[in-house]
Structure 1
Amino acid sequence: MSPSKRSLELSLGVVIRRLPGVTRWAKWSWKAIAVLPGSDHGAWKVLREEDGATEFHAGTLTLSLHAGETEAYIHNLTAKEPSIYVIMRHRAGDPPLDLVLVTASPYEAQDYTDNGEDIVERVPLPDALRGVIADFIDRHHVEEPFVKRKRDRARVDRVEDGRGDPRIKQTGDVYRAPRKVLS
């Protein structure tokens, strides 16, 4: 990546584990468990089968890092457990999941949790990928100083009884409560 380029793209394979379901309504339980940096393209290849659990290389997605999102990447790397977030969606058929996105930004991952349709799973961040993200942050992060907003000096404590809307022709207070007309 050249220093002038403000983004970086990496291919990540997603490993998903299938376990037998624990209820009669769900035959299988699916969970993203790992990412494979630099993985080639593959769709739902069996990697390992053991004691009823099957691990698949579900597919390869592109992880995009952008210079404008370095604050989110810093938040991720300084978290207790740095992660890659895998966003998946249910679909009819076999396999029952579509891979949508992989991201290193916890802010972007949170946006996908809002719709209730997508499945967002945290996967441990591999050490090699941690180094790549840290290097990207070092090259592109610009600390923005906090600027406190100044309050305007408008007086909001003044009483404006009777002022009202200038389009209303009325001699009295336009904010007053209606009174019963006495005959």
Structure 2
Amino acid sequence: MKFEYPGSQSLPLGVVVRRAPGVTRWAKHAWKASAVLPGAGPADWKMLRTDGDVTEFHAATLPLTLYVSDVEAYAHELQAREPSVYVVLRPVSGNKDIPWTVALVTASPYEAQDYCDSAEEQVEKIPMPDGLGAWITEFVDKHYEEEVFVKRRRDKARIDRSQDGIGDPRIRQTTDVYRAPRRKEVVN
């Protein structure tokens, strides 16, 4: 049973992962999420194409879920020079052929940043296809209300008339409490 939050929308999003030859002798292959496929069907590392040593896989299809609570993040991403979606790849131990699993797809740059803080996952920024951008724009237009900036004004209280805050009135003070204490001289 799948539960959706009120005001949220989901769309299945296929993730294309590219395997290319590694550039060092320690890494046999370099893996990178390279594209997304809106509305894709289920997949489990299905090979899409091979060009020499480079192979592209339809690695997985995950739901891209938009939440009303994150609508500000989506609006921020849509205003970027190149709007993108983010794919989080998580390492899998014990599988030499396919060492990654697709953990998450998101349109929120803030959520992607949270995954970047950990050195364990690999976060890829993928250009947003036009149709996906239109779907996210429609969601943002429906739910986003920009907060108007209101400059805070100082209150008109006169603070130069009283000695409020000089010290605790319960303690006798014969000198200025803001002065640094002096060391008493010892007389022999």
Q: Same fold (TM over 0.5)?
A: yes
Tell me the distance in 2 between the aligned counterparts of 1:156 and 1:106.
45
Residues 26-66 of structure 1, C-alpha deviation per residue, up to 9 Å, x if partnerless? 11100000111111222111111111011111111111111
> What's the counterpart of residue 113 of structure 1?
116
The offset of 1:168, in angstroms, is: 6.8
> What's the counterpart of residue 93 of structure 1?
94
How large is the Cα RMSD of the aligned pairs?
Answer: 2.6
Which one is further off, 19-28 or 61-70? 61-70
Tell me the distance in 2 between the aligned counterparts of 1:90 and 1:79.
29
The gaps in structure 2 that reach 5 residues or longer are: 1-5
Secondary structure in 1 matching 2:65: strand
> What's the counterpart of residue 138 of structure 1?
141
The gaps in structure 1 that reach 5 residues or longer are: none
Residues 84-115 of structure 1, C-alpha deviation per residue, up to 9 Å, x if partnerless? 11111223232211212111111221222122
Tell me the distance in 1 between the aligned counterparts of 2:159 and 2:55.
66
> What's the counterpart of residue 45 of structure 2?
44
Identity of aligned residues (%): 56
TM norm structure 1: 0.82
Residues 11-31 of structure 1, C-alpha deviation per residue, up to 9 Å, x if partnerless? 111100000101011111000
Residues 111 and 156 of structure 1: is their aligned pair in 2 closer, same or farther, counting only changes over 3 Å? farther
1:150 counterpart = 2:153: yes
> What's the counterpart of residue 25 of structure 2?
24
1:181 counterpart = 2:182: no
Residues 155 and 38 of structure 1: is their aligned pair in 2 closer, same or farther, counting only changes over 3 Å? same
TM norm structure 2: 0.80
Say how many residue pairs are matched: 177
1:66 counterpart = 2:67: yes
> What's the counterpart of residue 3 of structure 2?
none
